Amino acid sequence: MRIDPSDFPRLSIGPQAGQTSKPPTESFIDTLKEAIQSTNTRIKESERMGVELAQGRSGNIHETMIAMQKAGISTQLLVAVTNKLIEGYNQLMQLR
């Protein structure tokens, strides 16, 4: 399996790494929506690959398992972020 730099859009290794960064143009909501869409896409792709493997149309179990692990890790991260958001909201509500 080949890892592309596009798998890590937020990481930058190159001539731009030493320059001062500009303030982010995306809002938190946009970033969260993008993370949800990315996770959903990975889950759908892993399900498709799993079905193809089960039906015998694909014999590449390695890429299927990697796709499933990526989907699982993305889901765990999204759940952890959601739980932290809820925890932060609850703490703000207790301050009132």
Write out the DSSP string of 10-41: T---SGGGGSPPPPP-S-HHHHHHHHHHHHHH
Q: What is the pLDDT of residues 15-68, one digit of tens each?
A: 555 556 666 677 888 998 999 999 999 999 999 999 999 999 988 899 999 999
> pLDDT averaged over the chain?
84
| Domain assignment of residue 44, yes or no | yes
For the full predicted model, state whether its pTM sits above 0.85.
Answer: no
**Closest to 84 in 3D by CA, of 23, 11, 28:** 28
| Domain assignment of residue 10, yes or no | no
| Domain assignment of residue 74, yes or no | yes
Note down the domain range covering 43.
Answer: 28-95
| Domain assignment of residue 62, yes or no | yes
Q: Are 79 and 39 in contact (CB under 8 A)?
A: no
Which residues are CB-neighbours of 52 under 8 A, at least 6 positions away? 58, 64
Q: How many domains does the chain have?
A: 1
